[in-house]
Amino acid sequence: MRIGFFPGTFDPVTLGHIDIVNRALPLFDKLYIGIGVNANKQPMFPAEQRREWFRGIFSGVPKVEAVVYEGLTVDCCKLVGANYIVRGIRYVSDFEYEKAIADMNRTIDGGIETIFLTCLPQYTSVASTLVRDVLRYGGDISRFVPEVVLRSIHAAT
């Protein structure tokens, strides 16, 4: 069974993240979305909220499951039985950073391979950090996030 693991903070979930998940789906029998909790980062949205967004977006797709995890990504991969890590690439600079992480993960556990997927051109500039900035200053984020995320954010304000 081919099991993939797509880790990230997803704060908030963007259309770019959804693009990568949708493009990864044909490659795997099961795809876990790993919502990483990092004690050094202060997220805008709670991890449980981010997981609920993914659950709402992929409610009709049984082979997608969102989990919240803390610690090493490779440890969570082992926990869920994933042997592939999926990473989205927008720019060449993303590749350099992601390759360093992939090399570290491979050193820790040689049985886990990283697969890089490039995003569609219309999502190249969509980053959670930028979306949070637009949101903080009252801008319109509707072109950057899925409808379920937008509704949830509007309901909370």
Q: Is 128 annotated as a binding residue?
A: yes
CA distance 54 to 30: 15
End-to-end CA distance of the chain: 43
Average pLDDT over the chain, rounded to whole? Answer: 95
So what's the pLDDT on residue 114? 98
CB 148: neighbour CB atoms within 10 A?
Answer: 16
CA 149, 58, 22, 11 dihedral sign is: positive
Q: Is 16 annotated as a binding residue?
A: no
Specify whether 23 is catalytic.
Answer: no
> Model pTM?
0.95
Q: Is 113 annotated as a binding residue?
A: no
- Looking at the structure of the chain, the number of domains it has is 1
Q: Is 155 annotated as a binding residue?
A: no
Residue 53 pLDDT > 90, yes or no? Answer: yes
So what's the pLDDT on residue 122? 93
Catalytic: which of 17, 50, 51, 152? 17
What digits encode the pLDDT tens for the residues 2-39? 999 999 999 999 999 999 999 999 999 999 999 999 87
Q: How confident is the model at residue 157 (pLDDT cuts 50, 70, 90)?
A: low
So what's the pLDDT on residue 93? 87
Catalytic: which of 51, 90, 132, 136? 90
Give the domain range for residue 11: 3-155
Specify whether 59 is catalytic.
Answer: no
Specify whether 90 is catalytic.
Answer: yes
Q: How confident is the model at residue 141 (pLDDT cuts 50, 70, 90)?
A: very high
Mean pLDDT of 69-88: 97
CATH number at residue 114: 3.40.50.620
Specify whether 63 is catalytic.
Answer: no
Mean pLDDT of 68-92: 96
Q: Is 10 annotated as a binding residue?
A: yes
